[in-house]
Amino acid sequence: MLSQEQITQFHQDGYVIIPDFKSTEEIAALRERAAMIVNDFDPASSASIFTTKEQEKKIDHYFLNSANNISCFFEEEAFDANGNLGQDKSLSINKIGHAMHDLDPVFSAFSRGPALANVAQQLGLQKPEIWQSMYIFKQPGIGGEVRWHQDATYFETDPVSVTTFWFALEDATLENGCLWAEPGGHKTPMRERFVRHGDIVTVEKLSDMPWPSDATAVPLEVKAGTLVCFHGLLPHYSAPNRSPISRHAYTLHVTDGATSYSPLNWIQRDASFPVSGF
């Protein structure tokens, strides 16, 4: 359960840090399952990379089809000049996404439970609905930058309700690419909207407000097992990982079913695969 001070911090700063939320055993089980998924992944099946730069130009069918299945994406710098992997496959994957929480029992167990349901309720989610899960590797040496963004860009609801549940599976530090956020930045406008029409994706600019700078942003250095929850309008980013140490993390993007979920969001569900909560 969150303290009143933690709830107040979430509403004031747009995020709250909850140490020791997941046990070493729970983390080990998730990491082992993620390693198995990567081991079973055939690189010849897709060379799709994940990048937050010029996204509408980099989106492909593999990415779009990942909305409701389990897919692996390479780091942007995973390949050499000849198109070959520059390191072992296990050290080349940027992330796994985007429906492990519904399709894999190990991920489902990690993603659900009374503790998470309680946190969601205390943060104001009346009817939590988990739309997306991502296992992020932030590989040593080549872990890609994730540019400044707001998660509401990808999960628009009226009113804004998307809340991110970000679990540190390893210590996240300045050296290995921890999150950065702007305290109070969730009170600023939504700057972009990620819109899907069939197989066409566009990023619509909504505001000219600049992204935060080092003058206003703060690093969120946390220990493994920590849960960070943040508001969908909170600007956040992470730098490239040039260190020899990875920074594994797992995220859930959750909206409130009491709000109106945009039919233009890139992930949609129907009666054959309904969205569910904690």
Whether 150 contacts 191, CB under 8 Å: yes
Q: What is the pLDDT of residue 57?
A: 47
Q: Mean pLDDT throughout 115-131?
A: 98
- pLDDT tens by residue, 155-205: 999 999 999 999 999 999 999 999 999 999 999 999 999 999 999 999 999
Q: What is the pLDDT of residue 60?
A: 75
Mean pLDDT for all residues in the chain:
94
CB atoms within 10 A of CB 192: 16
Could you tell me the pLDDT band of residue 61, with boundaries at 50, 70 and 90?
Answer: confident
Contact predicate 224/155, CB 8 Å = no
- Max CA distance (Å), the chain: 55
Could you report the per-residue pLDDT of 97-110, keeping only the tens digit for each?
A: 999 999 999 999 99
* Residue 252: CB atoms within 10 Å: 26
How much is the pTM? 0.94
* Residue 51 pLDDT: 59
DSSP structure string for 163-214: EEEEEESS-B-TTTT-EEE-TTGGGSPP-EEEEEETTEEEEEE---PPPP-T
- What is each CA distance from 267 to 31, 120, 174, 194, 223, in whole angstroms? 25, 21, 32, 11, 31
Residues counted in the chain:
278
pLDDT recorded at residue 46: 65
Asked whether the predicted pLDDT for residue 47 surpasses 90, the reply is no
Residue-wise pLDDT tens digits, 206-244: 999 999 998 899 999 999 999 999 999 999 999 999 999
List the one residue out of 226, 220, 227 whose CA is nearest residue 183: 220
Domains and CATH numbers, the chain: 4-261 (2.60.120.620)
The set of residues, in sequence order, having a beta carbon less than 8 Å from that of 86 and lying 6+ positions away, is 77, 78, 79, 80, 92, 142
- The set of residues, in sequence order, having a beta carbon less than 8 Å from that of 278 and lying 6+ positions away, is 111, 112, 113, 116, 117, 120, 128, 130
